[in-house]
Amino acid sequence: MNAVEEKNLSRIQREKRGKIQKAALEVFSEYGLRSATLDKIATACGLTKPNILYYYSSKDQIYFEVLNGLLDEWVAPLHEISKEGKPIDELLGYMKAKLKISKQKPKESKLFANEILHGAPLMQNILATSLRQTLDEKVAVIDHWVSEGKLANVNGYHLFFSIWAMTQHYADFDVQVKAILDKNEDELFQEAEEYLTNLLLRMLSLPSNQNHSIKRS
Amino acid sequence: MNAVEEKNLSRIQREKRGKIQKAALEVFSEYGLRSATLDKIATACGLTKPNILYYYSSKDQIYFEVLNGLLDEWVAPLHEISKEGKPIDELLGYMKAKLKISKQKPKESKLFANEILHGAPLMQNILATSLRQTLDEKVAVIDHWVSEGKLANVNGYHLFFSIWAMTQHYADFDVQVKAILDKNEDELFQEAEEYLTNLLLRMLSLPSNQNHSIKRS
DNA sequence: GTCTATAGTCTGATAGAC
DNA sequence: GTCTATCAGACTATAGAC
């Protein structure tokens, strides 16, 4: 459903669709596309199964719309990285934005993780075109910063991979994290932010004028 | 099935069970527990559905045994970290071992990722006891190294989380990585190893006797 | 031990009353 | 628009022949 079609819906239709999408996010993120059932979604939003299928033509379509509806929001922090800003501040800001999303939107994170883990049948195209293009641009910015001596020499692509991996880990694998560290969420994410800030600072700061005594393997 | 029961099986039984487990790993890692079907496993190992259920009492049991059978192997690299070794070498070795596993056993990695992503119904107990205990010990080693001034001050738990996240990312989210970087596997993992080696060196090396000009937020 | 046939269950989707 | 009832297909698991 595109923006124009969306506009032509009545108020009640938009409300119901919103309810369904919200419930669907809960259920899909917990169970995945296949193990999620229309019954579970129906219970979660207080509608009946046929009623859901009055608003959406199939289960797959609900899944597709939920995923698609979150995509822009998901990639948004990447666009915020500005060539004009201070390199390390920009990248620290990006990490913090991603970590905040992991804390506040763990379900969305799990939904994407599950999709990619199973081969991204619905998103592969977007990954290889839109996301890739955006990332290419941002890596070019990083390369530029490196060439100007404003940032330690670093592989931009792998830098983004590692920021994604480390920040999303706290949402996607929260069960494991919490099984090992029994802290409350606030403490946990506070620690994570301190750790990751320190890590990026050490990773990205120029060695200034001193020797770093870095051993090469 | 424990080790004693395993021994009492005939040769043909062990062979068939092995075949089934191998096929099950393929199917479960690709589809997850629920979307995997006995038919897919049957096709993958060239047996019939009832024949599989002659060797295993249920689909769930196959899944459980596959997961359980891989557990020891999965945690093994952690045990290799030795208090007696050189701190940075030990931790670099651990990262490299994990990265190698991501390259060579992506299916196993995805199987675990999927299990934890969906709440680790079969593993939560092990995570909170056995894995946690092992990790506590290794974090104590890291704290010891830090207190002796052999390692930069670092939160041991988050260090392990980040090593897991970054190394497993290349297996679990390979679709995304490959959509962005179209390199062959060897190049990709070579790059990843260089990047992660550099990252850990900067993260863990002592600043020696020079100022590091690290900004605190 | 292995197979064919099938029972029994779950679930996505539809028909049709209101 | 919404509901009850129900169909059709997929899937796990079992029965029983060989």
- Over residues A67-122, the pLDDT tens digits come to 999 999 999 999 999 999 999 999 999 999 999 999 999 999 999 999 999 999 99
Sequence-separated (6 or more) residues with CB below 8 Å from residue B78: B94, B134, B135, B138
B70 in the same domain as B45: no
Q: Which residue range(s) make up the domain with A19? A: 3-57
Query: CA A14 → C1' D1, Å?
Result: 14
Q: Judge: A194–B155 Cβ closer than 8 Å, yes or no.
A: yes
CA of B53 to C1' of D14 (A): 10
Q: What pLDDT, on the 0 to 100 scale, is given for residue A105?
A: 98
Residue A156: how many other CB atoms lie within 10 Å: 20
B25, B125: one domain: no
- Does the global pTM surpass 0.85? yes
Answer yes or no: do A77 and A165 share one domain: yes
Query: If DSSP codes are grouped into helix, strand and coil, which group holds residue A53?
Result: helix
Task: Kindly report the backbone phi and psi dihedral angles of residue B210, in degrees, each rounded to the nearest multiple of 5, phi listed first.
Answer: -110, 160
The pair of structure tokens assigned to B55 is 């060797």
Both tokens of residue B203? 């993260």
**The pLDDT value given to residue A57:** 97
Q: What is the per-residue pLDDT for A11?
A: 86
Tell me whether A117 touches chain B (CB under 8 Å): yes
Number of domains in chain A: 2
CATH number where A20 lies: 1.10.10.60
Over residues B75-133, the pLDDT tens digits come to 999 999 999 999 999 999 999 999 999 999 999 999 999 999 999 999 999 999 999 99
Taking contacts as CB-CB distances below 8 angstroms, the residues of chain A near B113 are: 113, 117, 172-173
Q: Give the end of a domain, one of A57, A74, A94.
A: A57
Chain B residues with CB-CB distance to A173 below 8 A: 113, 116-117, 164-165
Q: How does DSSP assign B7-65, residue by residue?
A: HTS-HHHHHHHHHHHHHHHHHHHHHHHHH--HHHHHHHHT--HHHHHHHSS-HHHHHHH
Residue A21 belongs to a domain: yes
Could you tell me if A53 and A118 lie in one domain? Answer: no
For A161-210, what is each residue's pLDDT tens digit? 999 999 999 999 999 999 999 999 999 999 999 999 999 999 999 987 44
* Contact of A177 with A169, CB cutoff 8 Å: yes
Domain for residue B30, yes or no? yes
Which residues, in sequence order, are CB contacts of B179 under 8 Å at separation 6+? A120, A124, A127, A128, A131, A132
In-domain check, residue A211: no
The confidence score (pLDDT) of residue B166 equals 99
Q: Is residue B215 part of a domain?
A: no
Q: In chain A, what residues touch B177 (CB-CB under 8 Å)?
A: 161
Q: Is the CB of B49 under 7 A from strand D?
A: yes
Q: What angle do CA A35, A165, A173 make, to 5 degrees?
A: 45
Q: Is residue B98 part of a domain?
A: yes
| Residue of chain B minimizing CA distance to A199 | B203
pLDDT band at A211 (very low <50, low <70, confident <90, very high): very low
Q: Which nucleotide is nearest to A35 (CA to C1')?
A: C11
Report residue A164 as tokens.
């994604």
In which residue ranges of chain B is pLDDT below 50?
A: 209-217
> CA of B43 vs C1' of D16, distance in Å?
24
Are B191 and A117 within 8 A, CB to CB?
no
* Residue at A152 is within a domain: yes
Please judge whether A32 and B116 are an interchain contact, meaning their C-beta atoms are less than 8 angstroms apart: no
